[in-house]
Amino acid sequence: MTIPFFPPDLFEDDRETLLDVVREVALDPEQRFILGHRTERFETAVRDSVGAVDAIACSSGTSALTLVLRAMGVGPGDEVVVPAYGCAPLAAAPALLGATPVFADVDPWTMVVDPVEVEKSVTERTKVVLPAHMFSVMADMPALRAITADVGARLLEDSAVAQGGVLGGRAAGTWGDAGVYSFVQVKTFGMPGEGGMVVTNDPELGRVVRMLRNHGQDGRTRFLHHRVGVNSRFDEVMAAFQLRRLPGLPARLERRARIGEYYTECFTDLPGVVPPPPGRDGRCFYVYSLLAERRDALREHLESRGVGSHVYYPAPLPHQAAFRTTGRDWPAAERACARQLAIPIHPHLTDAQVEHIADEVCLFART
């Protein structure tokens, strides 16, 4: 049995759908391949599914982050508080705008940013707090919302991995001034291409992001540029494809959640292996990550038994050459880098494959 971490057949069941939408868009007399009526319908569908006021489709999740920060007025002299453990765009987006990413340590169990550490990191120069949901756990958005309200900072929620997640009855992406999603192929609502989306309950913020993604045009009159913008436009083929797949998202998320629950039940109280917290509130089940004391040995064991796994971040962001920061420590982030190992959780897994993966983790831990 060979079980890859990410399956090569993610969109095999959607082959005919993809061919249909390529033909549909290509033969449409309107000949709009970007930002057409399908993109508008996709934006409306996502907006309504999460209860936001506006949704703006962009070329990637990274671009979405950068556009929101620009719309919030982030620039030189400003600070943006970001997790010390996570994906590079968290620090790159503010840095590219001339702002300073300030790194806050993470919770040692969930690996999401710790609100206590965020509060310590806030200064009079803090413009935005940018938490990110991590693997299968959402950040503590109520606490972070309270912090930003107290200090007068904006709250930008990186929900790239969390579409479909719900915390306290509120959808991931809607806790802050704005949230972003990513549709890169391996995400919970991935597609065979790049794409992202901004969701917000601030109409003015949405209006500015919408202009910035299309060279500063307002969508009413072409070649009138109200701001210096960029090309972060969304593809009509992918919009049509995602519209066809959106109704199936709850079932795919449910399958991921059930696999995650089975894993957690199997791994609770295993020696040297710590599963993520149980439950469904504040969960997204994009990736199922263990914390293993003998991480590299576990990875080798799984590989020898035909099970793919993945180590996400070899070093905390402030230790990366691009963002190197000195003068303090991030012990929880450093420990996460040494212990984190993700195992397969995608909805294409069969019950037999899930049981095999769990059995091999348990076998390793008990040996």
pLDDT at 240 over 90: yes
Angle (CA) 186-155-225 rounded to 5° is 80
Residue 222 confidence (pLDDT): 85
| Distance from C-alpha of 215 to C-alpha of 59, rounded to nearest angstrom | 13
| 172 close to 138: Cβ distance less than 8 angstroms | yes
The half-sphere exposure of 246 on its side-chain side, counting CA atoms within 13 A, is 18
| Distance from C-alpha of 299 to C-alpha of 311, rounded to nearest angstrom | 9
Q: How far is CA 58 from CA 183, 186, 241, in A?
A: 10, 17, 15
| 158 close to 132: Cβ distance less than 8 angstroms | yes
How much is the average pLDDT of 237-248? 96
- Every domain range in the chain assigned CATH 3.90.1150.10: 248-366
Which residue in 252, 257, 260, 278 sits closest to 342, CA to CA? 260
| 35 close to 233: Cβ distance less than 8 angstroms | yes
3-state class of 258 per DSSP? helix
Residue 290 confidence (pLDDT): 97
- The H or E element that residue 182 is part of is strand 178-182
How much is the average pLDDT of 223-232? 92
- The H or E element that residue 103 is part of is strand 100-104
pTM above 0.85, yes or no: yes
Torsion of CA 299, 302, 308, 309, to 10 degrees: -30
Answer yes or no: 187 catalytic. yes
pLDDT at 47 over 90: yes
Instruction: Please provide the distance, in angstroms rounded to a whole number, between the alpha carbons at the two ends of the chain.
Output: 21
User: Which amino acid is it at 332?
Assistant: A
pLDDT at 221 over 90: no
In the chain, pLDDT over 90 holds for what percent of residues? 93
Residue 333 confidence (pLDDT): 98
Distance of CA 353 to the CA centre of its chain: 26
Span 12-247 CATH architecture: 3-Layer(aba) Sandwich (3.40)
Instruction: Characterize 174-195 residue by residue with b for buried, 16 or more Cβ atoms within 10 angstroms of its Cβ, and e for exposed.
Output: bbbbbbbbbbbeebbbbbebbb
The packing angle between helices 37-50 and 236-245, to 10°, is: 40
Distance of CA 319 to the CA centre of its chain: 21
| 211 close to 217: Cβ distance less than 8 angstroms | yes
Instruction: Determine whether domain 248-366 maps to CATH 3.30.70.2740.
Output: no
Q: What is the pLDDT of residues 74-126, one digit of tens each?
A: 999 999 999 999 999 999 999 999 999 999 999 999 999 999 999 999 999 99
Catalytic residue chosen out of the listed positions 187, 213, 299, 339 = 187
| Distance from C-alpha of 281 to C-alpha of 141, rounded to nearest angstrom | 12
Residue 219 confidence (pLDDT): 81
pLDDT at 363 over 80: yes
Q: Identify the bridge partners of residue 197 per DSSP, sorted by sequence position.
A: 57, 181
| Distance from C-alpha of 159 to C-alpha of 165, rounded to nearest angstrom | 9
pLDDT band at residue 153, thresholds of 50, 70 and 90? Answer: very high
pLDDT at 42 over 80: yes
Residue 158 confidence (pLDDT): 98
Which residue in 307, 291, 334 sits closest to 6, CA to CA? 307
Read off the tokens for 62. 């990274």
Which residue in 71, 65, 94 sits closest to 81, CA to CA? 94
Q: What is the pLDDT of residues 245-264, one digit of tens each?
A: 999 999 999 999 999 999 99
pLDDT band at residue 218, thresholds of 50, 70 and 90? Answer: confident
- Every domain range in the chain assigned CATH 3.40.640.10: 12-247
- Measured from the Cβ of residue 322, the count of other Cβ atoms closer than 10 Å reads 9
pLDDT band at residue 24, thresholds of 50, 70 and 90? Answer: very high
